[in-house]
């Protein structure tokens, strides 16, 4: 069969600074999240603090199933009480949509959870490729002392469901222990 697909885009490059994780020149919108955008995410609220927690540098393509959306996230080091700085975390609105992360710089953990309360933790570091299957909510956590940067790519129609995590939380939190990162049960978690 000789079906022709209508061509609607031109090929292009984007450039990631492998030191900082930033994409420059900007290839799409930059999202910045501060503690005030996510104070309910931490086990204990951050009080009057309003630190910049992370930036998402997007590569702008239409959010359709024909495209692959991608971005880098730069997650700054820090803690709220003893809980490491982290992203809001989300399910994909289209639950079956998978995602790939790959570490660029710094060190951290990727916390994942299903709606029925299973969870998994994998490291994010340069060279690690994290495969997040459909149905797993995901949140990244900076457990190091430098910014954590990673690249993410996913099917364009996935969408982001933040509300489910805002309401139920993740089953565990990642906190700074005497020997390094530890998991702590989230007492407010609702399966």
Cβ of residue 154: shortest distance to ligand PAN, in angstroms? 5
| Per-residue contact flags (x/-) with ligand PAN for residues 3 to 42, judged by CB under 6 A | ------------------------------x---------
Q: Return the structure tokens found at 57.
A: 């540098």
**Contact between 87 and ligand PAN (CB under 6 A)?**
yes
**Contact between 71 and ligand PAN (CB under 6 A)?**
yes
CA distance 98 to 105: 23
**Residue 71 binds which entry of ligand PAN, Zn ion, none, CB below 5-8 Å type-dependent:** ligand PAN
Residue 169, by phi and psi: left (phi above 0), alpha (psi -120 to 50) or beta?
left
Binding residue for ligand PAN (CB under 6 A) from 88, 95, 168, 176?
Answer: 88
Stretch that binds ligand PAN, among 7-15, 18-26, 86-94, 179-187 (CB under 6 A): 86-94
**Residue 73 binds which entry of Zn ion, ligand PAN, none, CB below 5-8 Å type-dependent:** ligand PAN
**Residue 88 binds which entry of ligand PAN, Zn ion, none, CB below 5-8 Å type-dependent:** ligand PAN
Q: Which residues bind Zn ion (CB under 5 A)?
A: 99
Enumerate binding residues for ligand PAN (CB under 6 A): 33, 56, 71, 73, 87-90, 99, 138, 140, 152, 154, 160
């Amino acid at each position: 069969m000789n079906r022709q697909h209508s061509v609607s885009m031109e090929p292009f490059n984007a450039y990631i600074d492998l030191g900082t994780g930033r994409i420059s020149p900007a290839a799409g919108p930059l999202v910045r999240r501060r503690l005030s955008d996510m104070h309910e995410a931490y086990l204990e609220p951050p009080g009057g603090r309003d630190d910049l927690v992370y930036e998402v540098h997007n590569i702008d393509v239409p959010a359709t199933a024909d495209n692959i959306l991608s971005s880098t996230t730069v997650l700054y080091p820090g803690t709220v009480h003893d809980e490491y700085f982290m992203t809001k975390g989300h399910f994909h609105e289209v639950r079956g949509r998978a995602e790939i992360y790959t570490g660029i710089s710094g060190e951290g953990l990727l916390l994942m959870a299903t709606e029925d309360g299973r969870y998994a933790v994998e490291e994010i570091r340069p060279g690690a490729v994290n495969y997040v299957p459909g149905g797993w909510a995901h949140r990244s956590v900076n457990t190091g002392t430098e910014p954590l940067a990673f690249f993410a790519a996913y099917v364009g129609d996935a969408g982001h469901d933040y509300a489910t995590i805002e309401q139920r939380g993740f089953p565990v939190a990642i906190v700074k222990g005497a020997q390094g990162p530890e998991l702590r049960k989230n007492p407010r978690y609702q399966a």
